[in-house]
Structure 1
Amino acid sequence: MTSNAGARERALNLSLLGNALALLALAALAAALARWQADAWQWVAPGRGRWWMAAALVAAYAGFVAAVARSRRRSARREALPAIHADRRGDWLVAFASQTGFAEQLARRSWQALRDAGLNADLAVLGTLDATQLAHYRRALFVVSTTGEGDAPDSAAAFVRKAMGAATPLPQLGFGVLALGDREYVEYCAFGHRLDHWLRHAGAQPLFDLVEVDNGDAGALRHWQHHLGLLAGRTDLPDWSAPAYAPWRLRERRIANPGSAGAAAFHLALVPADGSALQWRAGDIAEIGPRNPADEVAQWLAANGFDGAARVRRDEAETALADLLQRSRLPAAADARGQSAQALADALAPLPHREYSIASVPADGALRLLVRQMRRDDGRLGLGSGWLTEHAGDGAAIDLRIRTNPSFHAPDDARPLILIGNGTGLAGLRALLRERIDAGHRRNWLLFGERNAACDLHYRDQLEAWLADGRLERADYAFSRDGAQRVYVQDRVRERIDQVREWVDAGAAVYVCGSLEGMAPAVDAVLREALGDEALEAMAAQGRYRRDVY
């Protein structure tokens, strides 16, 4: 599709026309001023030097105008969207609706990230599409802003009229929405929510929950990148903006599931290195700056002939090259060959952050995480989980930033709360439970799934104590490897659906935390089947249905 390029070309032609009209206006002004000449006109030859000077000025101006025109044409060609051919559509689509250009910029970055990961992706202005074209894609990402009183950007008006005004089934489409807005306005991210609502009603399946961005918030954009990396199968995508980490210290690490049939999970406790006060809310996210294993860095230094103790400067601070390499993507040997230590340091790209649900509240005395070890295709531990669960030593410095996540904060009132999750998703649910219990709210119901009851019921002692004294009203578990048939948490929800309805009718909120694949969509399907699409979407709009899935 080339409508975007055509618009830029028309803008360029209008600019040239504007220059011509300006010159004509100046000529007309000169003619008008000539009427004020009282005496007879007398021609005085300016001389050859002045003729040459005038000619040079005219030529310089003409050259300047031509250079600007060429630059704008090159820019228009460079920024033009690649054409989408009906017989060569990609599997992925990135569509944007932008009023100021920011949504387009983010869409281009997202599209490029997919392409860099080897995925066949198309990029388009949302207004050039219709529902029939969307039906040709398996996956689509939408980056949209909101204008006026919750309106769509001008460039999306045609899509709103043609596509969103009709009911077109899109059951094959998985989608994600990045909604840009400003919390100062009542209709915050309204068009993004309208688009998300329309897609769900069309039968499209959310790949993850809508991501809201308040005034370009860097933390929210990193969260979008986190999802983007998971979808692309590339956990090494560089951050668009690096988190402003603070130094924390690893105070405790112990295995959470000894003997489990699944991958090892670990309880971690971290505290600020400077002893400052703990401050966050249940539902917030810990952004961790991972590090390469020290032995991998040492091998790289030896193989490429660099001295790890060499002092280099980065971000106005001096550090050892080996320390900087631990925090950076290790470059290919060819890229490092022949460079000085400082030149190498200048070219290093920082490692991308990792996100983890916080399992504690400040009253626990430490920021606690529940981290499962992940393995790469070659068998090595994952970058983030490997750093936290194995490579970081006792008392090690951990780069950490807390990202507030208001979309998963607990209700402020005493309404009933249904908490559903699986695996390490129990971390976020445990924090919500602790905050609720500390506030004196007892109507809490936990539905949780894992592999084996004997090994995988994290926080067992605390959960049993809360259940025994009534601070946790009820708990239902699904351990998929303990019976002859596999039973998952969504099955428990279905079995208890009458009680779920009773709690919802009493004003309960439903919070889901855990796996994006499998658990989250299955639980969503059970709830939609039982409560209805409109009821569940109304709950989401009221803040009574919230998810933190990954």
Structure 2
Amino acid sequence: MQLQVMNSPFNQEQADLLNRLLPTLTESQKVWLTGYLAASQSVAATTGVEQQLVAPTAAPSAAPVVEQTISKEVTILYGSQTGNAQGLAESAGKTLEGRGFDVTVASMNDFKPNNLKKLHNLLIVVSTHGEGDPPDNALSFHEFLHGRRAPKLENLRYSVLSLGDSSYEFFCQTGKEFDQKLEELGGTRLNERVDCDLDFDEPAAEWLEGVIAGLSQAQAGGTEVVSPTAVAQETDTVYSRTNPFRAEVLENINLNGRGSNKETRHLELSLEGSGLTFEPGDSLGVYPENDPTLVDSLIKELNLNPTEEVQINKQGESRSLKEALTTNFEITVLTKALLEKASAFLKNNDLKELLANDEKVKEYIDGRDMLDLVSDFGPWDGSAQDFISILRKLPSRLYSIASSLSANEEEVHLTIGAVRYEAHGRERNGVCSILCADRLQPGDTIPVYIQHNQNFKLPENPDTPIIMVGPGTGIAPFRSFIQEREEKGAEGKSWLFFGDQHFVTDFLYQTEWQNWLKDGVLTRMDVAFSRDTDEKVYVQNRMLENSKELFEWLQEGAAFYICGDEKKMAHDVHNTLIEIIEKEGGMSREDAEKYLSDMQQQKRYQRDVY
């Protein structure tokens, strides 16, 4: 848009200068300039002195103007299951501190809800877990805010950054609920809520820019100007989620015996030269590649040229269509949003009818992929770039680390179950698990990064007893726990509940557990192999059989850990634990739930579930 002299207070020379300048400015520079002009106007009104515009010496994203307000305090609360929300909250805190704000960053679990009414500026960074549920460390705060004791918040300014996965029905549901409830309680938005999919870096950065602009615009009457050179510059580690390290495969072993219904891979990767460190309980992010056979079939169905160059990001980087579909974009998961985008290039009326019925959409996308979509509703009436434009980036996969860095220097171990199944007349494979099972050999490299998880950690006191429940691949972090406690000489008791299908073929890391039991590093182990008896036995059955002693351990201060499948196992173990507390503690159901909630507040009840 061109500035016209007749519609503005500027003369022709000024208008020409502005018309040349404005189109060249980034959004960050516009925010900087807006804040500067607001501060200059305030200074001039107070002192009668106009300020000289000084070109910023820091990066353009460093907004150099922060006006004095009644309160420069900003509280950032995060709810995080895997660590992404926590990382974003902490990064936002450093950025805002660099702008001159007094920032407090805390887990929702550690925040006293009664202090909510004392806040003036609140930022919420929260993920959505499972089927629209809050993360474990957000449960109590979420319950408080949606309960009768929640205070009126007319003096609160807030903004919500919500993390989720659009392939789930209740995308970013927890963030939406927080945003709506804070508004209902009288809060005023500093910036509109931003809902992030798995590729959250850019939208999160844009949200923070909007928050900074909102904080600046909301301030009035002040005179303090923060020099841009004083803005703190955050320095990331060399290797991170956005800059992964290519780790060499040292070992790739099938842990299951011959005749097993399962295939569980034990991967050992080298971190030599990466500088990456981790603690027991952390996860490893792995960037996989799509199955080349599936990619070839999809390109053939699209009737496109595999060597045609396509642009893969906003920076203009390009690759061949085949390479882009192999390494950059997700092609195995369908969502309603994806079907809607694809319908512009798939002229089949059946797809339009399908999209008109949400229940039929949910039924269709379950277990199908992009090849199914194009086969069922093709032909594709668009270019290769059109196809790329409707896809989301291929997300990393997070795996609980199965080793201790203290015990295995410059190495990281993973326990990965190979996913293979048949659906809708085709054999289907897990993207990352089958890459690891079938195509990753010792000597190959794979892009990885460390995902720190402060919500799943060994007790600070090594003498604290621990109880671990990890059937199947849920055993992974507990191997890390025991390796660490052995290396550190921890004296605390330890009790493991493990389960799988068959003792002979599916007892993962059997020799290691038996040696740790013999050496006293592991105090006790109870196992449940569900297919070895007429009546299926699971880990929760073993817990009930030992309910008296298990409750005694809890009374002694033991920390309780669950890792593995959330939908069934973790839910059943949770309810069994409440049942044990109720029975052995002589409590009501409500008191037993309160007992477990208190354990969670004390970080004595932690879950790493998926």
TM-score (norm 2): 0.53
Partner residue, 1:368: 413
Residues 474 and 345 (structure 1 numbering): CA distance in 2 closer, same or farther, change over 3 Å?
same
Give the letter aligned to residue 177 of structure 1. P
Partner residue, 2:397: 354
Give the letter aligned to residue 393 of structure 2. P
- Partners of 2:602 and 2:318 in 1: CA distance: 50
Displacement after TM superposition at 1:308 (Å): 3.0
Give the letter aligned to residue 257 of structure 2. P
Partner residue, 1:444: 494
| C-alpha contact 1:418 1:446 (8 A) present in aligned 2 | yes
| C-alpha contact 1:239 1:353 (8 A) present in aligned 2 | no
**Alignment: residue pair count:** 377
Partner residue, 1:112: none
Could you say what secondary structure the match of 2:116 adopts? Answer: coil
- Partners of 1:501 and 1:339 in 2: CA distance: 63
Give the letter aligned to residue 435 of structure 2. W
Instruction: State how 1:424-435 maps to structure 2 within 5 Å.
Output: 424-435=473-484
Instruction: State how 1:10-409 maps to structure 2 within 5 Å.
Output: 150-151=115-116, 176-177=133-134, 193-196=140-143, 225=164, 229=167, 238-241=198-201, 243-244=241-242, 245-259=244-258, 261-272=260-271, 275-303=273-301, 304-308=303-307, 315=315, 319-327=319-327, 328-330=329-331, 334=345, 339=383, 349-362=392-405, 363-365=407-409, 366-375=411-420, 377-378=423-424, 379-409=427-457
Matched, 1:549 2:606: no
Could you say what secondary structure the match of 1:491 adopts? Answer: helix
Residues 492 and 146 (structure 1 numbering): CA distance in 2 closer, same or farther, change over 3 Å?
closer
- Partners of 2:390 and 2:557 in 1: CA distance: 55
Which of the numbers 555, 577, 580 marks the counterpart of 1:530?
580
- Partners of 2:454 and 2:7 in 1: CA distance: 63
Partner residue, 2:458: 410
Give the letter aligned to residue 354 of structure 1. R
Give the letter aligned to residue 325 of structure 2. L
| C-alpha contact 2:131 2:169 (8 A) present in aligned 1 | no
C-alpha RMSD over aligned residues: 4.7
Displacement after TM superposition at 1:390 (Å): 2.0
Displacement after TM superposition at 1:292 (Å): 1.0
Displacement after TM superposition at 1:320 (Å): 4.7
| C-alpha contact 2:564 2:609 (8 A) present in aligned 1 | yes
- Partners of 1:152 and 1:397 in 2: CA distance: 52
Displacement after TM superposition at 1:529 (Å): 2.0
Residues 348 and 249 (structure 1 numbering): CA distance in 2 closer, same or farther, change over 3 Å?
farther
* Structure 1 unmatched runs, 5+: 1-52, 59-99, 107-142, 156-172, 180-188, 202-214
Give the letter aligned to residue 140 of structure 2. H
- Partners of 1:200 and 1:460 in 2: CA distance: 47
Deviations 1:125-178 (A, max 9, x none): xxxxxxxxxxxxxxxxxx9998996427999xxxxxxxxxxxxxxxxx986125
Could you say what secondary structure the match of 1:298 adopts? Answer: helix
Residues 175 and 352 (structure 1 numbering): CA distance in 2 closer, same or farther, change over 3 Å?
closer
- Partners of 2:500 and 2:551 in 1: CA distance: 24
Between 538-547 and 384-393, report the one with greater CA deviation.
384-393
Displacement after TM superposition at 1:454 (Å): 0.7
Residues 348 and 497 (structure 1 numbering): CA distance in 2 closer, same or farther, change over 3 Å?
closer
Residues 380 and 153 (structure 1 numbering): CA distance in 2 closer, same or farther, change over 3 Å?
farther
| C-alpha contact 1:374 1:381 (8 A) present in aligned 2 | yes
| C-alpha contact 2:257 2:505 (8 A) present in aligned 1 | yes
| C-alpha contact 1:289 1:354 (8 A) present in aligned 2 | yes
- Partners of 1:374 and 1:467 in 2: CA distance: 31
Could you say what secondary structure the match of 1:525 adopts? Answer: helix
Residues 199 and 486 (structure 1 numbering): CA distance in 2 closer, same or farther, change over 3 Å?
farther
Deviations 1:517-536 (A, max 9, x none): 22212221122122222221
**Larger Cα-atom Rg:** 1
Displacement after TM superposition at 1:405 (Å): 0.4
- Partners of 2:267 and 2:477 in 1: CA distance: 14
Give the letter aligned to residue 418 of structure 2. Q
Between 483-492 and 521-530, report the one with greater CA deviation.
521-530
Identity %: 26
Residues 260 and 195 (structure 1 numbering): CA distance in 2 closer, same or farther, change over 3 Å?
farther
Deviations 1:70-125 (A, max 9, x none): xxxxxxxxxxxxxxxxxxxxxxxxxxxxxx9x99xx9xxxxxxxxxxxxxxxxxxx
- Partners of 1:200 and 1:259 in 2: CA distance: 54
Give the letter aligned to residue 580 of structure 2. A
Residues 253 and 152 (structure 1 numbering): CA distance in 2 closer, same or farther, change over 3 Å?
farther
| C-alpha contact 1:146 1:153 (8 A) present in aligned 2 | no
- Partners of 2:118 and 2:252 in 1: CA distance: 49
Deviations 1:43-78 (A, max 9, x none): xxxxxxxxxx999779xxxxxxxxxxxxxxxxxxxx
Give the letter aligned to residue 466 of structure 1. W
Could you say what secondary structure the match of 2:429 adopts? Answer: coil
Residues 316 and 463 (structure 1 numbering): CA distance in 2 closer, same or farther, change over 3 Å?
farther
Displacement after TM superposition at 1:399 (Å): 2.2
- Partners of 1:544 and 1:340 in 2: CA distance: 52
| C-alpha contact 2:502 2:529 (8 A) present in aligned 1 | yes
Give the letter aligned to residue 608 of structure 2. D
Residues 455 and 471 (structure 1 numbering): CA distance in 2 closer, same or farther, change over 3 Å?
same
Between 346-355 and 511-520, report the one with greater CA deviation.
346-355
Displacement after TM superposition at 1:301 (Å): 4.0
Displacement after TM superposition at 1:263 (Å): 2.9
- Partners of 2:553 and 2:483 in 1: CA distance: 20
Residues 200 and 549 (structure 1 numbering): CA distance in 2 closer, same or farther, change over 3 Å?
farther
Residues 262 and 339 (structure 1 numbering): CA distance in 2 closer, same or farther, change over 3 Å?
same
Could you say what secondary structure the match of 1:387 adopts? Answer: helix
Structure having greater relative contact order (Cα 8 Å, sep ≥ 6): 2
Give the letter aligned to residue 538 of structure 1. D
- Partners of 1:150 and 1:387 in 2: CA distance: 49
Displacement after TM superposition at 1:250 (Å): 2.7
- Partners of 1:461 and 1:473 in 2: CA distance: 15
Instruction: State how 1:393-542 maps to structure 2 within 5 Å.
Output: 393-413=441-461, 414-442=463-491, 443-531=493-581, 532-542=592-602
- Partners of 1:465 and 1:200 in 2: CA distance: 50
